[in-house]
Amino acid sequence: MTKIKLLHFINSLNIGGAESLVKDYALLIDKEKFDVVILCHDRIGSLYEKLLQNAGIRIFFISDFFPFKKLYFNRLVNKIVRHSYLDKLIAKIIIKKEKPDIIHSHQPFNRIIEFVNPSKKCKLFHTVHSEPKEFWCTGTRYANRDFKAVSSLIKKHGMRLIALHEPMRQELNQMFHVNNTVVLNNGIDFSRFNVSESKEVIRKELNISEDAFLVGHVGRFVPLKRHDLIVDSFYELCKIKKNAHLLLVGSGELRSHIEEKIKLMQLREKVTILEPRLDIPRIMKSLDVFIFPSLFEGLGIVLIEAQRMGVPCVVSDAIPEAANVSNLVVKMPKDSAPLQWAEKLNGACSIHPEYFGIEKWDMSIVVKQLENLYLQEISQG
């Protein structure tokens, strides 16, 4: 049996929701049926890059093809590259050489797929990882270009859209005048969530007191995630709970700003910041409560992970309802003041989790659904 060549296209393999999905898709899909390669715009030296390459997954990086690699990551040079035909030409060369039967894009790089102009036999899929209107309806040039590219790829190449939940599916069908958008849960690998170590052992490793009331957040340091609000809320919580401690995991453009803010608020002894890591289930197990105040999310897979580990979660009401799979979630109006967040965090308590439908988020099930979707499209010729 000839394997189906599958190419996932994503900006980078930084540690985030979309990137985690691509990582799990690549690792868990049936290798007897599919030959998987990944095309990234940028190489960043992440843990996911190493993990996938160690598993034998081939990864191509557009940034590797520039002779001025160090300059490439200068914001101005990168902008010039992205607004020229250089990255498009490199992507076209790679894709034409690989001859994929399926291209599955993630994140708004569809202008490149449009430029590549894959053969009619190549099936196209695009998973929408962000709230559609929050990206495509902002009026920016970048958003407009991607919207037009997706519209063109749907019309000329029959690109199939994949939504993360039912309301998103309906929104995408309406936005792009289609009726075949499919919902695939942004699943998690349940096998990773069987953590045998105790909370005390994990905290000791992290140099956090066993007696601490530990509030945690996992996410990139970007405006969307509202780390300023997290720190302000934690400051108020410290007035209520003297043993409060904050654990932040992630990297990003605002990390230095948040570190300086923590210093100015004299919270350095009460805050632990960790680099992105692969043992997030262990981190979740160490927490007393998880805080997730994002302005918006396509889904918020980290919230599913926190619930899977039985952690009470205080979250923004901007998080899609589809991410609520247990009795552990407490919703907050996203414009609530820091003191209100602190009071909710303080009121979070350990309860016996009751789940409703979390089994649908098992990545082993989701990957089989994805395989069937691919095979269905291929069989239609």
Structural domains present in the chain: 4-187+362-379 (3.40.50.2000), 190-357 (3.40.50.2000)
Residues 147, 336: Cα–Cα separation, whole Å: 33
What is the 3-state secondary structure of 219-259?
A: CCCCHHHCHHHHHHHHHHHHHHCCCEEEEEECCCCCHHHHH
Per residue in 20-49, pLDDT (tens digit) is 999 999 999 999 999 999 999 888 889 999
* Least-confidence region, from 127-136, 177-186, 261-270: 127-136
Tell me the whole-structure pTM to 2 decimals. 0.86
Give the pLDDT mean for 150-156.
Answer: 94
Greater model confidence, 63 or 203: 203
Task: Work out the pLDDT band at 81, boundaries 50, 70, 90.
Answer: low
Give strand pairing partners of 215.
246, 289
Give the pLDDT mean for 121-126.
Answer: 95
pLDDT for res 82: 57
Give the pLDDT mean for 64-78.
Answer: 60
Could you tell me the CA-to-CA distances from 134 to 24, 131, 309 in Å, in that order?
26, 5, 30
Residue with tokens 């991607």: 146
Give the pLDDT mean for 77-94.
Answer: 75
pLDDT at 207 over 90: yes
Residues 44, 182: Cα–Cα separation, whole Å: 31
Tokens of 124: 């196209």
Tokens of 127: 């998973």
Provide CB contacts within 8 A for 89, sequence distance 6+.
none
281: nearest Cα among 27, 20, 56, 45? 20
* Least-confidence region, from 75-79, 198-202, 330-334: 75-79
The side-by-side arrangement of strands in the sheet containing 102-106 is 58-61, 34-40, 4-10, 102-106, 123-127, 160-163, 182-183
Give the pLDDT mean for 59-67.
Answer: 84
